[in-house]
């Protein structure tokens, strides 16, 4: 059985970690470099670092921040935000990132997934999908969830898999920050239709939600932010509970 992964997410804006509800009402959650080191020390399996305003501001991810975070951690580290070229990814990897996460840029130019996969390998390419359930249909949203599209979540996920994505990071905008649990029905559907790992994001509020997304949602990894940043769920305790529920994790 493959080990399930626990992944804290550092959403960065103006050099600080922030967290909101349904992608708005952001509040400060601390220094990203300090948080990254703390998470690596307490047993997080990976980190995701998202420069959430990069796309809206029309710029790339801050390289200096990536370099500083990479110096502090010894676990896989994914970086996203405003990434739109092979050259930019090359810079991020040289600064210490292990993987990159692309979102809006992949929708605008799907060939980017092929280009990155061909150049760096699929294991390096995470396609993040922010989707919202509207009238029973899951629709992809761009630019930090601010721009709706008519693109179907499941069709888009299948397309990026065929183009060479190594993982899907699916965030349910309906669930984000609500602490009411992950979108397990959609996650299970994604898991059944794809052959690459699915990272669940949006809705973690308690330990049972993590158990549910692994058991019901068939997720390969679970990503969360505020419950970790504000000390509501310590990662060592979470992993012990998962292990007690026969979910394979790295202790």
What is the domain partition of the chain in residue ranges?
A: 5-244
In this predicted structure, what is the pLDDT of residue 22?
A: 47
Q: Is 11 a catalytic residue?
A: yes
Task: State the Cα–Cα distance between residues 91 and 250, nearest whole angstrom.
Answer: 30
**Mean per-residue pLDDT, 17-33:** 60
Residue 27 has pLDDT above 80, yes or no: no
Closest to 128 (Cα-Cα) out of 95, 92, 97, 100: 100
Candidates 45, 51, 130, 212; catalytic one:
130
CATH of domain 5-244: 3.20.20.70
* pTM score of the predicted model: 0.91
Active site residue 45: no
In angstroms, the CA 61 to CA 82 distance is 6
Report, as an integer, the average pLDDT of 49-62.
Answer: 66
Average per-residue pLDDT in the chain? 90
Average of pLDDT values for 45-63?
Answer: 73
Given a cut of 70, whether residue 24 has pLDDT beyond it is no
Q: At what angle do helices 235-244 and 207-215 cross, to 10 degrees?
A: 50
Q: Note whether 111 and 84 are within 8 A (CB).
A: no
pLDDT digits (tens, 9 = 90+) for 212-237: 999 999 999 999 988 998 889 999 99
The confidence score (pLDDT) of residue 61 equals 58
Q: DSSP state, 2?
A: P
The pLDDT of residue 225: 87
Whether the pLDDT of residue 26 is over 50: the answer is yes
CA distance 44 to 36: 9
> How much helix, strand and coil, in percent to the nearest 5, is found in the chain?
35, 30, 35
Helix axes of 111-120 and 153-163: crossing angle, nearest 10 degrees: 40
């Amino acid at each position: 059985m493959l080990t399930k992964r626990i992944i804290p997410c550092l959403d960065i804006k103006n050099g600080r970690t922030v967290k909101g509800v349904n992608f708005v009402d952001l509040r400060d959650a601390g220094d990203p470099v300090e948080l990254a080191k703390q998470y690596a020390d307490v047993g997080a399996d990976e980190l995701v670092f998202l420069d959430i305003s990069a796309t809206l501001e029309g710029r790339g991810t801050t390289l200096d921040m990536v370099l500083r975070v990479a110096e502090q951690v010894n676990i896989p580290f994914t970086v996203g935000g405003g990434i739109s070229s092979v050259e930019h990814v090359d810079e991020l990897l040289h600064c210490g990132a292990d993987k990159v996460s692309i979102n809006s840029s992949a929708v605008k130019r799907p060939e980017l997934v092929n280009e990155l996969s061909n150049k760096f390998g699929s294991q390096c390419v995470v396609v993040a999908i922010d989707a919202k359930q509207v009238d029973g249909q899951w629709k992809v949203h761009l630019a930090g969830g601010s721009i709706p599209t008519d693109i179907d979540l499941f069709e888009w996920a299948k397309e990026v898999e065929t183009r060479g994505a190594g993982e899907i990071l699916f965030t349910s905008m309906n669930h984000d920050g609500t602490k009411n649990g992950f979108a397990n029905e959609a996650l299970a559907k994604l898991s059944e239709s794809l052959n690459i790992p699915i990272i669940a994001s949006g809705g973690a509020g308690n330990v049972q939600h993590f158990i549910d997304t692994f058991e019901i949602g068939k997720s390969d990894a679970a990503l969360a932010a505020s419950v970790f940043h504000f000390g509501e769920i310590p990662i060592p305790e979470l992993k012990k509970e998962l292990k007690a529920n026969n979910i394979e994790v790295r202790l």
